[in-house]
Structure 1
Amino acid sequence: MNIKNFLWEYGEKVPGYDITVVNEREARAAAGILFMLGMIVIFVGIGYNHIIVARVYLAFLFLDFFARVISPKYSPSMLLGKFVVRNQKPEYVGGLQKRFAWTLGWLISFPMVYWFVLHWDITFYKVMICVLCLSLMFLETAFGICVGCMIYKAIVREKPTYCPGGVCEIQKKDPIQTFNPIQKFIVGITAIAIISGVYLFLAKTESKTFFGQFLHEAILTKTQLKKEEDLKYQKEMDQEFNNDDF
């Protein structure tokens, strides 16, 4: 293997493109597959209390990203994505920036393998690493946003070409991409409602799982937690006092 080609050429050589590229449609499909599997693992883990599914998934994630770093030709999820979108017109993006993004994904999965596959040692902050990984997959598959590609652009300090979603080539937005005042208002209200709803649910709802308790404690301040503990203690004392009356 030519080490220079391995380092500086990643993907396929396609006529009409001056750099090696990968098919963004396959990448987004693969991200969607991994995200869907991750959500299934969460539901099964919480609903059935089986940690084996999480261990298998995280081991698969680690190996899949490692295969992508070598070549997308050998990634199981990329091959599944390739099969799903085989009848769609390819959307080519620069290979090196995608490889950098997938390398970051592999590095994120590395500690998860140690924490959850080799040694099951679950904490809130370790779970948040898993949530971060799933969030990056969701951004890619749902919106075509490649965070790793953005980091690559900032580090290399050169304007990349053939970016996901064509963001490198867009100079001026079409009218359909702009927002009028009413649309801006609707977007703002919707975002505030979603954020407020999630916060109120986590803050006010009594959790029935350890993960829910982690989230509940994470969003509250020390003062709020102390007040909550005092109210709980007062409630227990009132119940005990009422029971003594009988």
Structure 2
Amino acid sequence: MNKLMQFGEIVDGYDIPVLNEREIRASAGILFLATYTSLMFILFAGNFVLVKYVISCFLLDLLIRVFINPKFSPVLILGRLMVRNQVPEYVGAPQKRFAWSIGIVLSAIMFYFLVIVNAYSPITGIICLICLIFLFFEAAFGICLGCLFYPLFYKNKVQHCPGEVCDIKSRQDIQKVSLVQVIMLLLFIVSVFFATRLLQEQFSKRPHDLFKSSTTVKSR
């Protein structure tokens, strides 16, 4: 029974329960895609049906992770299937549990307003944006934003962070960003800014069907 309800896996060489960061990132990507898609339905079609399903599934999945066992989370199971051929990257379970608890609070508020009260407001919009940012950073960069708040509430040292960011002392040469690289990044940003001014008219033209004759397009 204890093993059924435990949070995290016991792995040789680790003194605390751990989770597989690769499947966590995969599940975050799945949830991000679902949440983002439901948001597009709201913005372009005024359709709130999909987001209600997404929020309900999101909340249920997080409740299973935190209060039962991450092993039985449907989205984590799907993430595990997606990355099952990759070598696991173990991360500490305690900080993940804290981060997912934040997710429960946010999704529960969304569930209350959008599903039970059936109303939207700036509150739901802001929370949705926060959830998207959290999911994107986890999926794209492997950065658990919720985990950053863990030391503020617990005195225990954070262990086994993704990429060992909580233990790293100095960056290797391949991780360092030179002045030339910074200049290249700034030049790219500036060029994009000016391109939006110079090419706005050209880019605003509606594309025509490649396989229809130009005369047909002009006649329209």
State the TM-score, normalizing by the size of structure 1.
0.72
Question: 1:236 matched to which residue of 2?
Answer: none
Question: 2:50 matched to which residue of 1?
Answer: 53
The alignment-based identity, stated in percent, is 39
Offset, 1:188: 4.8
2:38 is equivalent to residue 41 of structure 1: yes
Question: 1:29 matched to which residue of 2?
Answer: 26
Question: 1:160 matched to which residue of 2?
Answer: 158
Aligned ranges for residues 145-184 of structure 1 at < 5 Å?
145-184=143-182
> Which letter does structure 1 place at the counterpart of 2:120?
I
Offset, 1:44: 2.3
2:119 is equivalent to residue 102 of structure 1: no
2:132 is equivalent to residue 134 of structure 1: yes
Gaps of 5+ in 1: 196-246
Offset, 1:155: 2.2
Offset, 1:128: 1.0
> Higher mean Cα deviation, 135-144 or 163-172?
163-172
Q: Structure 2: how far apart are the matches of 1:74 and 1:193? A: 48
Q: Structure 1: how far apart are the matches of 2:35 and 2:135? A: 10
Offset, 1:39: 1.2
Deviations 1:43-73 (A, max 9, x none): 2233333211111111111101111112111
Q: CA RMSD in A?
A: 2.5
State the TM-score, normalizing by the size of structure 2.
0.80
> Which letter does structure 2 place at the counterpart of 1:37?
A
Question: 1:19 matched to which residue of 2?
Answer: 16
SS at match of 2:96: helix
Cα 1:192/1:61, change in 2 over 3 Å: farther
SS at match of 1:161: coil
Offset, 1:26: 0.7
More helix by share: 1
Structure number with the bigger relative contact order (C-alpha 8 A, sep ≥ 6) is 2
> Which letter does structure 1 place at the counterpart of 2:154?
V
> Which letter does structure 1 place at the counterpart of 2:149?
I
